[in-house]
Chains A and B, each alone.
Chain A
Amino acid sequence: MPEPEPFEPLESYGEEGRAIASTGAGGASDLATAEAETLEKNLGGPEGAGPDKKARSLWSDAWHDLRRNPVFIISGLVILFLVIISIWPQLIASGDPLDCDLSKAQEGSQPGHPFGFNGQGCDVYTRTVYGARTSVTVGVLATVGVAILGGILGGLAGFFGGAWDGFLSRITDVFFAIPVVLGGLVLLSVVTSSTVWPVIGFMVLLGWPQLSRIARGSVITAKQNDYVQAARALGASNSRMLLRHITPNAIAPVIVVATIALGTYISLEATLSYLGVGLKPPTVSWGIDISSASQYIRNAPHMLLWPAGALAITVLAFIMLGDAVRDALDPKLR
């Protein structure tokens, strides 16, 4: 008996599986990618009420949910606090992170120095506070770079399709095939600059394919919405379609993944420092402090625990923020 109805969702199903399957070597933020796929799928929702109405109600619904979500409030406050002390560390730390006294090396907690001293006799509390600036800067700038580069390249590929899309997909495949930490070791091993720029540049270079894949999928989903098709039928120009109809609906998964990725970039900076290719002194960063403390871990674990704890809380805050936003935006989980 002939089957008159083709099975429609087949191709999209396959592609989606690919996307999840191939995120492996992306390292740090695979999960975000995999989970964003669902969000992407669900946001393409059944009711295409109208471009503005839909986008606005999506975000205002999400905001309505978020304001009541303790996870969002707590992680938001933690991030706000981090940003403030990154700008004005002297608000809560009066000392100088580079003012060290070797005679006090590895000493524990004492009055005025609650976290004790590190291997060079610097105050761990002051260095932990000042380290926030570097870590947050690296995280934010790398994320912004990755989101802009990946978002634009992936978005355009999804919108225009064709040869450019095919080419870009292969390029992202190539980048996914190279383990991130390994790429960092190779590229950063020759860097002598002690600024944050080489590390940020490396993260953007190896990180953009992840976001581009998300943006691509998300634009393709948005493009299939009825009202976008309608706008096209009414003769809207490409730029108008992209700016007014597609971007507002396609940007949610990109923002979610970028937020979670931000945390993982901070973590990656520390890992690179541990491998000796990350940031270099006299820059003050959690990564540098954790990796130098790792040599003394058996005798003076406090030197490692404080900066590592600060880093973990920061990463956690960004992951939870991204999680909360994703849940709020995902109509299926309501």
Chain B
Amino acid sequence: MSAWSPEHPDALDQLNQRPQPRPKVAVHKFSSCDGCQLAFINAGEALITLSQLVDIVHFAEAGPLDAEAEVDIAFVEGSISTPHEKERIEQVRRQSRFLVSIGACATSGGLQALRNFNSHSAEQWTQAVYAQPAYIDSLETATPVAEHVKVDLELWGCPVNARQVFAAIRALLFGVMPLIDKDKLCVECKRRGNVCVLVAKGEPCMGPVTHLGCGALCPAFGRDCYACFGPAENPNTHALARRFVGLGLLPEEIAHRFHFINSHTPAFRSAGLEWAE
């Protein structure tokens, strides 16, 4: 079984053949809060429509259980943070024609990737945190799925939303890659008619370096963006950090703006490290 890639479009071709058996879909969970799976569960009627278009064969949170099923599209939530997960993601890759990682944990390691900066070993802090550390079997790092297996598509966000997930599924069923817009959040924020919280309130908004997709949710409520969708294309983290200095943020505070939900992404990792010392 070969995964779909731009060079080998045949695998997805089978998804939009008619008549045909419906494509099989699985939703797998790794180290995560389950919040991205809610993009499916909270979708209401759309979920019923989806169930008429595809066969959801494995989705533990919603009911169907068949973790070993071979599928056309696998959605993977969560980072790889245990030795068992390392093995399991390879198994998921083998049994999936098209693999989509969803959410910050799966695409960037997520919040738990903050531990990747920690100089203490996993053993040391598990002993500090847990009463019975012997039961904890954890890797030193929490890393994105793409660091372990080939990923065909990434949907960013903490959490991803139904609009993103369903647009991706629709495009895949049409036999094309979904349109992934990596522009800055500001573009979306301005389309929505929000007043810029950085300019009008002096809030340290991460919008100018952040991947759009959320619909500029926080600025619409007068709050600064905290970059839950990760870095946008061509992010000028240095210029934004300089602006934060002008707004009165301390170096440590600037470092925390970048080292938060998507700290393991190269752009945010290096931007934060620049200010952490």
Chains A and B belong together in one complex? no
Residues of A within 8 A of B (CB): none
